[in-house]
């Protein structure tokens, strides 16, 4: 039976744009785009894991507003259960620590990127809400 990884991701909005980050070419799903985030560690709430992961990945403090979507995607290495949250940037300027690129994009521009499969349902849900903010 495949392992299930519980992962969280932040849909960070700022001035009607959403932060997107690109995985390293050498990573699993290399060069795919995603929302910043990562694995929930034992004993962490999803919200606390997300705040920690965003701090580690892009060096910023966020506030978590609300859950936006959940999906499970069967990758070769594991089933990834991804929960995406709508978030606000509280402090800091996003910087690359574990990704190779980042972009702030309007909702209509999200489909220009090649997304990691687990992130696609959230991208599609965001785009259905156009032209309003995702909340």
* pLDDT 10s digits, 29-41: 889 999 999 999 9
Look up the CATH number of the domain holding residue 60: 3.90.79.10
Q: Which helix (H) or strand (E) holds 53?
A: helix 46-58
**Total-model pTM:** 0.91
Tell how far CA 76 is from the center of its chain: 20
Q: Residue 43 is part of which domain span?
A: 4-129
Between CA 135 and CA 133 the distance in angstroms is 5
Judge whether 134 lies within some domain. Answer: no
Judge whether 135 lies within some domain. Answer: no
Judge whether 97 lies within some domain. Answer: yes
Number of domains in the chain: 1
What per-residue confidence (pLDDT) applies to 11? 98
């Amino acid at each position: 039976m495949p392992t299930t990884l519980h992962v969280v991701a932040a849909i960070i909005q700022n001035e009607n744009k959403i932060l997107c980050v690109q995985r390293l070419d050498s990573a699993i799903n290399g060069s795919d785009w995603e929302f910043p985030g990562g694995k929930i560690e034992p004993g962490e709430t999803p919200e606390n894991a997300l705040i920690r992961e965003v701090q580690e990945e892009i060096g910023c403090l966020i506030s978590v507003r609300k859950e936006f979507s959940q999906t499970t995607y069967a990758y070769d290495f594991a089933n990834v259960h991804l929960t995406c949250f709508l978030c606000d940037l509280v402090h800091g300027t996003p910087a690359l620590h574990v990704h190779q690129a980042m972009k702030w994009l309007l909702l209509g521009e999200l489909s220009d990127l090649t997304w990691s499969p687990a992130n696609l349902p959230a991208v599609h849900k965001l785009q259905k809400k156009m032209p309003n903010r995702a909340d």
